[in-house]
């Protein structure tokens, strides 16, 4: 849907946080080509599919509890909102989330033409990944899990 030159996708923000720091990704390409890469229908090996499943499980901050993604997997789980002032998050080890992001990045690179991603979008995605990796590195060094959700 488009309103005044802005699509709903342009308003998506992916939040990655831990007690060691946080970062909000506001680039729609990151959401479209990394978080939702599994929806592009690429034929992938099992390990790649599992990595993308983690990213696909990132919940919308205001999603009804009965519409939350699968509850858990290896090194991650979806934590439902605990109070009315809270929202669901994907909780993962920094290493597990980093591995998923790295695989998504590699899959995107090798399928860039099929995904119709531009060089400008890839550059923007890489910039955002660098910032997210910084959060993950700090969380890992401090021994914290990370929480991820998105808002549209």
How does strand 6-7 pair with strand 72-73? unpaired
First to last CA, the chain: 12
Contact 50, 44 (CB under 8 A): no
Q: How far is CA 114 from CA 4, 107, 111, in A?
A: 29, 11, 5
Collapsed DSSP state (helix, strand, coil) of residue 92: strand
Q: In which band, very low, low, confident or very high, does the pLDDT at 6 lie, cut at 50, 70 and 90?
A: very low
CA distance 98 to 96: 5
**The token pair that represents 39 in the structure block:** 């929806």
Collapsed DSSP state (helix, strand, coil) of residue 116: coil
Condensed to tens digits (0 to 9), the pLDDT of residues 121-151 reads 999 999 999 999 999 999 999 999 999 999 9
The number of domains in the chain is: 1
Condensed to tens digits (0 to 9), the pLDDT of residues 24-63 reads 999 999 999 999 999 998 999 999 999 999 999 999 888 7
Q: Which domain holds residue 106?
A: 2-151
Match 């996708």 to its residue by tokens. 9
Say yes or no to pLDDT of 119 above 70.
yes
CA distance 14 to 99: 17
pTM for the full model?
0.89
State the Rg of the chain over Cα.
15
The pLDDT of 6-16, averaged and rounded, is 74
Closest CA to 149 of 10, 7, 13: 13
């Amino acid at each position: 849907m488009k309103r005044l030159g802005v699509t709903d996708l342009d308003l998506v923000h992916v939040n990655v946080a831990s007690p060691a720091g946080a970062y909000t990704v506001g680039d729609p390409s990151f959401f479209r080509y990394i978080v939702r890469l599994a929806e592009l229908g690429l034929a992938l090996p099992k390990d790649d599919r599992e990595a993308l499943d983690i990213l696909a499980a990132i919940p919308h901050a205001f999603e009804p509890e009965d519409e939350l993604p699968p509850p858990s997997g290896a090194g991650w789980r979806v934590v439902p909102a605990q109070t009315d002032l809270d929202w669901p998050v994907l909780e993962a080890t920094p290493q597990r989330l980093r591995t998923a992001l790295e695989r998504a990045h590699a899959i995107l690179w090798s399928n860039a033409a099929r995904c119709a991603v531009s060089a400008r979008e890839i550059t923007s995605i890489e910039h955002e990944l660098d910032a997210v990796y910084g959060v993950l590195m700090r969380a890992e060094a401090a021994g914290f899990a990370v929480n991820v959700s998105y808002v549209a």
